[in-house]
Amino acid sequence: MPPQELFAERLLAVLSGHRPVHWMLGQTVGQAYEQLVRLAPGTPLRARGVRPVIRTCRGFQLRPGVVEASASIAAGEQVRAMAFRLEQGADLRWRCAAVELGGERITAGTDHDMRRRT
């Protein structure tokens, strides 16, 4: 499974309230985890009576070890967009560095503005 698809599922699980935010410990870099802690309690991707699913997920490799991705999330008639950035560490593990959802941006202090690609 491509890393963007795996992380889209992980982020959806946290932002819909199906997984606790601490599930993302070790899967984020910089301040991204603390910022997810602030966003997750509002469960912005939760839908009443319908479990949200990923409709599409696309990734763009900016350079080796850096992927910017977008996903559309469907819950019944509602469709939401999510953009996120992944960075591969020296240990070759992918970690989430930034998330953008519904106008709220969460970054880990990266040097690239995600809005240019998504």
**53-89: pLDDT as tens digits:** 999 999 999 999 999 999 999 988 888 999 999 999 9
Average pLDDT over residues 34-56: 87
CB neighbour class for 40 (10 Å; exposed up to 12, middle 13-18, buried from 19): buried
What torsion, rounded to 10 degrees, do the Cα atoms 8, 67, 56, 81 define?
70
